[in-house]
Amino acid sequence: MTASPQRRVALSLLAHPDDAEMFCAGTLIRLADAGWEVHIATVASGDCGSMTLPRAEIAAVRRREGIAAAAKISATYHTLDEPDIQVVFDKATNRKAIDLVRRIGPTLLITHPRHDYMLDHEQVHLLARSTAFSYSIPNASDLPLIPGSAIPWLYYCDPVEARDPYSRGLVSPTTFVDVTRQMERKIDMLACHASQRDWLRSHHGMDEYIEAMKRHSAERGRQHGVMYAEAFVQHRGHPFPQNDLLADL
């Protein structure tokens, strides 16, 4: 198990467009600024993300929003185009996820925690666990293996409200990342998802979409002694890297 990555490639593999911007964009910004190649991937297309538009139309809108948000930090956006609320860990989806990660070859991977408020997130957790372990196995995919591919450092971002939905207990992070200086850029990235922001502004009468993210980041920041922070739990199971790469960086 190496103490530092051979390649500096970060991937967030999350469920829906805007999940990365809510939970780990500040960290992705810091990595991009440090010279890392950054990828933002979603398993689902976001096709249930509208009260008025049909599936194909809102999915196309949300793809454009994901691309625009990633472009803010010169990152690349990807999606597996699975339907919202029907994300499952099965052979076909697992194959798509492995092939995607094989093409990227990340040395750092961020995904959802095991327990979260909706099953799309929990199923993506399983897909990410599978790909993190297996993408660098030569026979795991027919795609060529990028030199330097290896089992990545794996981190779980916060669940919604930072609470385990089964116990309602607050998740205890292994790692905090100070994103105070990155907050305005994180807001800019999240604001790219206008289809979600506009719906919530209309429904709530306020910019709750942005404010909810800021409140969460501020609470994690308070726990870490800074203004804004993002929190993670590192996966340290066999045979994953054991040192806390995010803390080291």
1 pLDDT above the threshold of 50: no
For residue 57, name the pLDDT band (cuts at 50, 70, 90): very high
pLDDT mean over 77-94: 98
Contact yes or no for 98/140 (Cβ under 8 A): yes
pLDDT at residue 222 above 60?
yes
pLDDT > 50? residue 229: yes
Average pLDDT over residues 60-81: 98
Q: Whole-model pTM?
A: 0.96
Boundaries of every domain in the chain: 9-248
What would the mean pLDDT of 117-146 be, rounded to a whole number?
Answer: 98
Four-residue CA torsion sign, 139, 140, 144, 150: negative
Please tell me the predicted confidence (pLDDT) of residue 51.
Answer: 84
For 140, residues 6+ apart whose C-beta sits below 8 A from its C-beta are 98, 102, 134
Q: Report whether pLDDT(2) > 70.
A: no
Pick the CATH number of 9-248 from 3.40.50.10320, 3.40.50.1100, 1.10.10.10, 3.40.50.2000: 3.40.50.10320
**Using CA of residue 53, residue 197, residue 46, residue 63, what is the dihedral sign?**
positive
Percent of the chain with pLDDT over 90: 90
User: Out of 103-112, 132-141, 190-199, 227-236, which region has the weakest mean confidence (pLDDT)?
Assistant: 190-199
| Mean of all residue pLDDT scores within the chain | 95
CA distance 208 to 220: 18
Residue 194 pLDDT exceeds 80:
yes
Q: Are 119 and 42 in contact (CB under 8 A)?
A: no
